[in-house]
Each structure stands twice: as structure tokens, then as C-alpha cells.
Amino acid sequence: MSDFQICAATSTGDEAWSRLRAALWPDCSIERLNLERELYRRSPGAVALAVDENDHAFGFAEVSIRREHVTGSRDDVVPYLEGWYVDEAWRGKQVGRALIDFVSDWARSAGYREIASDAELENVLSQHVHKRLGFREVDRTVSFIKDLDA
Ligand SMILES: CC(C)(COP(=O)(O)OP(=O)(O)OC[C@H]1O[C@@H](n2cnc3c(N)ncnc32)[C@H](O)[C@@H]1OP(=O)(O)O)[C@@H](O)C(=O)NCCC(=O)NCCS
């Protein structure tokens, strides 16, 4: 098994965490990515980083606490997996599983009984991996926008 560990993100890991966020959301501006990162830091969620033996971070999982309705959930306040990413070189080595275990343990110890997530319809791999890790599918949606200024 490859040598890595999962740890909670701290402010000293900002640069690595930002790089990983940019890798997952390449179309998002750096300003927006950093703004969201700061919001996470001030919110009651959890951020886990996967680091190698040289302390280099190569994967992350971000969990927020959602207080609006989450489809399929039994509860009104639900931990939600907002971001989940592992660098390509490390994929298929159980890192994604370890990240989900870490944030699940965190959520359980904080008193929650579910963790929710989503995947884009075309991200079939992510859907498959979610199911391997114990998530069950509860809904499929298509989002729409109608321009009102045309
Ligand atoms: C989704 C992602 C985080 C998974 O990380 P990972 O480290 O490769 O996952 P793991 O190695 O821990 O695998 C977890 C499970 O999924 C399975 N799995 C992982 N990759 C797979 C693949 N390419 N094909 C089939 N099964 C796969 C593993 O076999 C494992 O199941 P098992 O333990 O029962 O055998 C990673 O693929 C990724 O970063 N993808 C790009 C970003 C993305 O789509 N994120 C999710 C957004 S919703």
C-alpha cells in the first residue's frame, strides 16, 4: 500500500488546498476559489487533506454543513460533501476512500447520522465510486436557466 495519511486542513496548508481546489474546478477564478476557501475556514464544516510522506498534499475532501433542504436526507441540518479530489497519480489507491472515511468519522463524532453528496450526470466514475463507498443514489436532476434580459 502507498504511504499517505489524512489530516485536517490547517491554515499552514492553504497553498496546497488552493492548488487542489483549482485542479477540481479549473473553470473557477482564483479569486472565487480563495474566497470560498476562506468561507469554509469560518464555517462549521470539515476539510481533509491527503498528504504523502514528504508532507505534499495531493487530495482533499471538503464538507459544509447545509441548513437548507437536502434531497433524500432525514435531517434538516446535513454535512455535505462539496469537493472531493485526488491527483491522478494517486487514484485507485484507496485515497478517496480514506478521505471519505475521515470526513465521515468527523461528521459522526459531531453528532450527524448522514453525509450527503452529489455528482454531475456525466461523471459516471464519481457516481460509481460514491456507491462503492456506501452512498446510495436518491435523486437525479437537470438544472435550467432562463435569461430574462434578452
Ligand atoms: C472520485 C475520486 C476522488 C476517487 O478517488 P480515488 O482515490 O481514486 O478512489 P479510491 O482508490 O479510494 O477508490 C474508492 C473505490 O472506488 C473504486 N474505484 C476508484 N476508481 C475506480 C475506477 N477508475 N474504476 C472502477 N472503480 C474505481 C475503487 O475500487 C474503490 O472501491 P473498493 O475499495 O470497493 O475497491 C477520484 O477519482 C477523483 O479525484 N476524480 C476526479 C474528481 C472527481 O470527479 N471528484 C468527485 C466529484 S463529485
pLDDT, tens digit, for every residue of 87-142? 999 999 999 999 999 999 999 999 999 999 999 999 999 999 999 999 999 999 99
Each domain of the chain, given as residue ranges in start order, spans 4-132
> What is the Å distance from ligand 1's center to 129 Cα?
5
* Per-residue pLDDT at 40: 83
Q: For the whole model, what pTM was predicted?
A: 0.95
User: Residues enclosing ligand 1, CB less than 6 A?
Assistant: 24, 84-86, 91-97, 119, 123, 125-126, 128-129, 132-133
Nearest alpha carbon, ligand 1 atom 29: 92
What is the secondary structure of the chain as a DSSP string? Answer: ---EEEEE--GGGHHHHHHHHHHH-TTS-HHHHHHHHHHHHHSS-EEEEEEETTS-EEEEEEEEEE-S--TT-SSSSEEEEEEEEE-GGGTTSSHHHHHHHHHHHHHHHTT-S--B----TT-HHHHHHHHHTT-------------S--
Average pLDDT over residues 56-68: 95
Atom of ligand 1 nearest to the CA of 91: 8
* Per-residue pLDDT at 27: 97
* Per-residue pLDDT at 12: 66
> What is the Å distance from ligand 1's center to 81 Cα?
15
The proportion of the chain whose per-residue pLDDT surpasses 90, expressed as a percent, equals: 85
pLDDT, tens digit, for every residue of 17-38? 899 999 999 999 999 998 998 8
Ramachandran region, residue 72 (left: φ > 0; alpha: ψ -120 to 50; beta: rest) = left
* Per-residue pLDDT at 13: 72
Atom of ligand 1 nearest to the CA of 86: 39
The CATH number of the domain covering residues in 4-132:
3.40.630.30
pLDDT exceeds cutoff 70 at 63? yes
